Structure formats: C-alpha cells, structure tokens
Structure 1
C-alpha cells in the first residue's frame, strides 16, 4: 500500500477521534457546569456534536481518498512518460502470496 494512502487514512482517523472526543468533552463539561438539571438537553447537544464529528471524519476520509487517487494518477502518468507500465492499483501484491495451499 502506498505510504501516502496509509498516512492519509491515519490522519483522517486521528482527526475524527480528536474532533469527536474534544467536542464531546467540551459539550459535557459545559452542560454540567451550566445547568446540572439539563440532562436530556445536554445529551441531545452531545449527540449532535458527535454526529458533526462523524460527518467531518467522513469528509476528511473522502478528501484523503481523493488525494490518494490523484497522486496515483500523477505517478502512473510519470511512469508512462518514462515508458514504464504502471502497476495495477492494488493493496496486495500477487508476489506476496507465500503461504501453502492450492488455488
């Protein structure tokens, strides 16, 4: 797998967990200090905050995937310019099949 793809995926997940955790923690802390009896309202705000974090995570993941695909296109074009054949986009190399069983 391309190192840029791995880094993009890891960055997307890191941002997702960071945003969700920070937003959730801030909402809970603020709700607990502002109105101790506002349990259902605080829960609704927390759920909405986490939902926003999930949406942001999905957007970041999509952007990372798009960047990975564009980088792959540029790399394939560069190889083509050099007269090389670009390998097919695959996470698993067929040569890395080293365990014993029949297909």
Structure 2
C-alpha cells in the first residue's frame, strides 16, 4: 500500500494538465473502466528513449488488473495493450499499446 502523501501526489498529477481521459475494457469482457493517464505518442521521448509505439502511463491503483490483450480508448482512438510494465516503486505502470 502506498503512503498517503504519494497517493495524494499521484491523484493531483493525474487530475492536472497533460493527463488525458481514457477507458480500459478487459479482454474477458465487462464494462469499460474510465480513468486519466499520460499518453505518449510514437516519437515521444520517455526516459531518454524515442518511442516507436504508443504508451499510456497510469496509476497502478487505477487499473490493477490491466493485462495484455485488453482494449484501451484514448480520446476516440482504440488501442490494444501489448504489455504492462510496472514503473519505479510500482505506484504507476506503463501500458505499451498498438492501434486496434
């Protein structure tokens, strides 16, 4: 479990400018789960690397069960999750995406 101050900082960051509205639909079915995250388009520089594929950074508590094959809507564009990568202390994760 995250200390309260980290969880509060993440909540502020994801509510602020730069975050986008998105929704996750599990490959197994069920209702879409809305959230906010930071979208990195192909060509974006992340951790000193140029991304060739889109990615979405979200709080780990937002979609704890996100997995490969799930569908993600970012704006009006549909993507499939290719990989789920935990970041740093596990408070966030990066969903590596491919256009659906």
TM over 0.5: no
**Which structure: greater helix fraction?**
1
User: Which one has the largest radius of gyration?
Assistant: 1
Where on the TM-score scale, by shorter chain, does this alignment land: which range? under 0.3
**Which structure: greater strand fraction?**
2
**Higher-RCO chain (CA-CA 8 Å, sequence separation at least 6):** 1
| Length-normalised TM-score, structure 2 | 0.22
